[in-house]
């Protein structure tokens, strides 16, 4: 677990409110003051590294010797996205994402550490929001691995790490309603086995029921994503492989004396 999970403080910078640990607050506030937004700063850094997201997501270092961070600007998804775009009601999902990140890290469940966020005043009392997380090098999402877009990551090792992650989530009764191949990062630091990290955690629910039910829900959601990904990209991960993976995950369900009955995944 990270040792940087300190109290979040806030500072007002013009029409923006910065939320960050005390050790980073002044630096982040200065970046917002100079560049207009944290996202604009990250996107303007020399050779910014574009990552995943609905829009480009950028990596940059906060200061000389400071942590490398990933900054994303939040956008709505779904049918209303063309109308709601990047406008949110306060307090947005950012504080929930930060809290869930810390809760998962406290459980030793691998996830990215949310370091802070910035709210920008908009019309009609709405806000825009940038979210800042600690950058984790040597990662590729599970979708990239299965599609052959991360050739340095062994597919079987990535799937084994994902099974371990699913068992951890079930053990702690954590349901991720949007557990898909893009929300699982495979971390492959040199010299150590891969580990799977769960991201986009603002929607996770903790204490969500017996372990078997939690495992069933997470696996069912991931199986749907695996099938969709296979249809879109023609991955070398056919229906039989998906069924075998789902069965292996269910076999790793932690024992739970409160189990109301046998659970299974609809395949």
Instruction: Read off the DSSP letter of residue 102.
Output: H
pLDDT tens-place values along the chain, 267 residues long: 444 457 899 999 999 999 999 999 999 999 999 999 999 999 998 755 556 555 788 999 998 677 999 999 999 877 767 778 999 999 999 999 999 999 999 999 999 999 999 999 999 999 999 999 999 999 999 999 999 999 889 999 999 999 999 999 999 999 999 999 999 999 999 889 999 999 999 999 998 789 999 999 999 999 999 999 999 888 888 899 999 999 999 999 997 544 444 444 545
- Token duo for residue 16: 């923006």
How many angstroms separate the CA atoms of 219 and 141, rounded?
A: 17
Q: Of the candidates 169, 147, 172, 173, which has an alpha carbon nearest to the alpha carbon of residue 158? A: 147
77 class by beta-carbon count within 10 Å (0-12 exposed, 13-18 middle, 19+ buried): exposed
Q: In terms of residues, how long is the chain?
A: 267
On whether the CB atoms of residues 182 and 194 are closer than 8 A, the answer is no
| Spatial separation of the C-alpha atoms in residues 255 and 71, rounded to whole Å | 39
- Measure the CA–CA gap between 267 and 226, rounded to whole angstroms: 12
Q: Which residues of 14-28 are buried (b: 16+ CB within 10 A; e: fewer)?
A: eebbbbbeeebbeeb
Half-sphere exposure of 44 (CA within 13 A, CB side): 10
The whole-angstrom separation of Cα 165 and Cα 237 is: 19
């Amino acid at each position: 677990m990270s040792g940087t999970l300190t109290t979040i403080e806030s500072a007002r910078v013009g029409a923006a409110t910065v939320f960050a640990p005390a050790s980073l607050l002044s630096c982040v506030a200065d970046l917002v003051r100079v560049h207009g937004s944290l996202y604009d700063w990250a996107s303007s850094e020399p050779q910014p590294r574009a990552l995943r997201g609905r829009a480009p997501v950028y990596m940059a270092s906060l200061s000389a010797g400071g942590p490398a961070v990933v900054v994303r600007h939040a956008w709505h998804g779904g049918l209303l996205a063309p109308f709601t775009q990047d406008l949110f009601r306060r307090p947005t999902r950012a504080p929930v994402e930060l809290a869930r990140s810390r809760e998962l890290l406290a459980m030793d469940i691998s996830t990215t550490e949310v370091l802070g966020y910035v709210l920008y005043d908009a019309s009609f009392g709405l806000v825009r929001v940038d979210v800042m997380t600690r950058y984790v090098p040597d990662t590729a999402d599970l979708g990239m691995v299965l599609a052959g877009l991360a050739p340095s990551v062994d597919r079987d090792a990535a799937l084994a790490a994902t099974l371990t992650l699913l068992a951890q989530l079930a053990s702690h009764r954590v349901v991720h309603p949007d557990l898909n191949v893009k929300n699982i990062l495979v971390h492959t630091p040199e010299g150590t086995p891969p580990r799977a990290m769960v991201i986009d955690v603002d929607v996770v629910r903790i204490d969500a029921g017996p372990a078997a039910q939690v495992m069933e829900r997470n696996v069912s959601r991931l199986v749907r994503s695996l099938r969709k990904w296979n249809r879109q990209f023609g991955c070398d991960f056919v229906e039989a492989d998906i069924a075998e993976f789902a069965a292996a995950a269910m076999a790793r369900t932690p024992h739970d004396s409160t189990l109301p009955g046998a659970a299974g995944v609809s395949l």
